Amino acid sequence: MIYVYETIPGNPGEKPKIYEIQQSMKDEALTTHPDTGEPIRRVVLGGFGILSSKVSRGNKSGGESGGCGPGCSCG
């Protein structure tokens, strides 16, 4: 797998450097870059999902809206 890592800036305002590092899924997350020794942390990325503007309303006769909660304005 390829994991994304970023350096941990040592100074305020310093931007992190981004790296892609290949590792086994069984390997622990790295804490230092294998070549430079800089402190790094693994970046957690979100997956792809499908968003829909349609909301399931469940059983309308019961007066409750399926997945909606209090204050929902989905109509």
Task: Specify the pLDDT at position 64.
Answer: 46
Tell whether the model's pLDDT for residue 11 goes beyond 80: yes
User: Does 59 or 74 have the greater pLDDT score?
Assistant: 74
- As a whole number of angstroms, the distance between CA 2 and CA 13 comes to 28
pLDDT at 72: 57
pLDDT digits (tens, 9 = 90+) for 13-68: 999 999 999 999 999 999 999 999 999 999 998 776 666 555 545 544 444 445 55
Task: Name 15's Cβ contacts closer than 8 Å, sequence gap at least 6.
Answer: 9
Beta pairing partners, 5: 19, 42
Displacement of CA 4 from its chain's centroid (Å): 12
Which residues sit opposite 42 in a β-bridge?
A: 5
